[in-house]
Amino acid sequence: MATKNHKLQVAFQGERGAYSEEAVLTYFQPEKVAVNVKPCRTLYDTFEALEKHKVDYAVVPVENSLEGSINETYDLLLHSPLKVCGEIHLRIKHSLIARPEATLNTIKTVYSHPQALAQCRGYLRKLGVKPVAAYDTAGSVKNLRRRKSDTVAAIASRRAAEIYQMKILAEGIEDNPNNYTRFFTLCFKDAEPTGSDKTSIVFSAKHVPGALYKALKEFADRDINLTKIESRPTRQKLWEYNFYLDFEGHREDPKCKQALQALSQKQMLTKILGSYPKAKQQNNNNHN
């Protein structure tokens, strides 16, 4: 942990003002813990910063309540030595941001991350503008300085507008207010049991009838509540999949340990991504 002489170094994907940075601040609470943030260009760079010990933690998005999973994050987790040690549920509130001289009537093109554009699809359609995908929400705001045009805008957080001194034309432009993104906090060791935990794993089942059923039955027989299951191609054999599974409980809890041991006895390749405290639901009405 941070001390008076050492601030925690935390990596995230995007520019300052990105929602991932907001997730860092939500999780580590800088008013209580000294934190330095390290922006990274890509998710791969974010993982690499921690794997090479350039930072103490990394925070990465894993799924959005409207648009679904961040597949790249799951693919990186499969091959990384990093462990999930925490999770954050962050309310996402989008703003339309432009240069000071711009108005809603002058905007013709809007830049942002593909997920942000998708979450504001209806609003952009009504506005009659062209959406253009960019690598980051906050980065799109930063680039408004370079573009020097009153015809372009970006979708990002209010905080991004404040950091880059741009103008907010509209707030809360997401099509559905029930818009949350789930983030994982990563380090080299998962968390100790707290009594209110979750565990994330990935496993591969044999390509035979009933294999997935038999795997899930190990959890059902022990009354372990599954909170998510998703398949991803193995990329090794055609039409074979890895299954990402979240369940309630810590991997050290007796019944969870029994279920995981049963999976391995069925010769199912299983990787524990980590056990961690359940996220506290963010009921804030922040501007981010």
What does the pLDDT read at residue 284? 45
Share of the chain above pLDDT 90, in %: 80
Q: Which of 12, 28, 47, 183 is catalytic?
A: 183
| Torsion angle, alpha carbons of 78, 79, 82, 87, to 10 | -20
Report whether pLDDT(216) > 80. yes
CATH architecture of the domain covering 95-171: 3-Layer(aba) Sandwich (3.40)
Q: Does residue 183 have an active-site annotation?
A: yes
Interatomic CA distance for residues 128 and 256, integer angstroms: 52
Same fold, 8-91+179-187 and 95-171: yes
What value does the mean pLDDT take over residues 117-138? 96
Q: Which of 26, 181, 185, 199 is catalytic?
A: 181
Q: Is the pTM of this model over 0.85?
A: yes
* Reported CATH class of domain 8-91+179-187: alpha beta
Q: Does residue 181 have an active-site annotation?
A: yes
**Residue 171: Cβ within 10 Å count:** 15
Choice among 26-35, 57-66, 123-132 with the minimum mean pLDDT: 26-35
Q: What does CATH list as the number for 197-277? A: 3.30.70.260
| Domain boundaries defined on the chain | 8-91+179-187, 95-171, 197-277
